[in-house]
């Protein structure tokens, strides 16, 4: 009989070229892991391509798939907030829809779920990003360490699993999805596992992130989040 309830949550925006491969790989993992009760929740964030039709074809054969639709693009934070308002689970796994994180690593995450970790994070190695993006990630991790004084291999991950009870979501806004691990830690998550993965270069579609915007907005955005964190907005 299935045990813990696990949601795999995938926000997508114009990722039609990645969806078939991504969904097929995730369903394959779900099929062989009988000890959990799964839902695959795909959030279409205002896409203008044929992605919704691809997802609906999968839904006809797989009742565990749920599709949430944002008529207009709202960003990942609003996608996760909408998911958390609508569904409840013991754990949820977030993975981007661009195939830069190989879904095969979900199996490894599930092995750590069995060991009752609070947060499980995949750290990308051999990054296929530009030098500028890699430097920004390093600076981001360094800044967080200086502020929270908790040493971890990484503080950011696009493939990460949480005990849902540690994520207080009602006040999520802006780009707070980037800081969900910090919210969970602030709410008492202590048992944290970080493991290495090999980063895959995006093959199809266009990245939704602009380096120039990151350079301009990253520091004030994080400081605004950190202030709200310390004021107890996410309790």
What are the C-alpha distances in Å from 151 to residues 131, 134, 156, 227?
24, 19, 13, 20
Consecutive 10-residue runs of the chain (235 residues): their mean pLDDT?
88 97 98 96 98 98 97 96 96 96 97 97 74 70 71 79 95 93 94 92 68 70 92 95
Structural tokens at position 138 = 């390093």
CB 155 within 8 A of CB 225: no
Write down the residue that tokens 């099929």 correspond to.
31
> Which residue, chain included where needed, has tokens 């596992």?
193
Give the pLDDT score at 222.
Answer: 87
The pair of three-digit structure tokens given for residue 145, joined into one six-digit string: 């360490």
Q: Are 40 and 71 in contact (CB under 8 A)?
A: no
pLDDT at 31: 96
Specify the pLDDT at position 215.
63
pLDDT for the residue 214: 63
Q: In this structure, which CATH number among 1.10.287.1400, 3.30.1490.190, 3.90.550.10, 3.40.50.300 belongs to the domain 5-230?
A: 3.90.550.10
Could you tell me the sign of the dihedral formed by the alpha carbons of 228, 229, 230, 235, in that order? Answer: positive
Predicted pLDDT at 200: 82
pLDDT at 141: 73
């Amino acid at each position: 009989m299935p045990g813990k309830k696990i949601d795999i949550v995938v926000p997508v925006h114009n990722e039609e070229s990645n969806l078939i491969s991504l969904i097929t790989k995730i369903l394959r993992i779900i099929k062989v892991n009988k000890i959990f009760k799964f839902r695959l929740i795909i959030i279409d964030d205002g896409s203008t391509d044929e992605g919704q039709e691809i997802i609906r074809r999968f839904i006809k054969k797989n009742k565990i798939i749920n599709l949430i639709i944002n008529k207009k693009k709202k960003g990942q934070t609003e996608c996760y907030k909408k998911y958390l308002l609508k569904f409840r689970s013991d754990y949820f796994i977030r993975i981007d829809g661009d195939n830069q994180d190989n879904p095969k690593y979900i199996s490894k995450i599930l092995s750590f779920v069995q060991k009752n970790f609070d947060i499980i994070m995949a750290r990308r190695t051999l990054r296929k990003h530009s030098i500028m993006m890699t430097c920004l990630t390093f600076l981001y991790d360094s800044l967080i360490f200086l502020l929270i004084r908790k040493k971890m291999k990484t503080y950011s991950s696009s493939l990460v699993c949480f005990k849902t009870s540690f994520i207080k979501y009602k006040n999520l806004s802006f780009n707070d999805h980037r800081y969900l691990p910090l919210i969970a830690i602030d709410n008492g998550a202590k048992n944290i596992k970080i493991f290495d993965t090999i980063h895959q270069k995006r093959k199809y579609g266009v990245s939704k992130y602009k380096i120039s915007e990151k350079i301009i907005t990253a520091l004030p955005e994080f400081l605004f989040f950190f202030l709200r964190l310390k004021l107890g907005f996410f309790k």
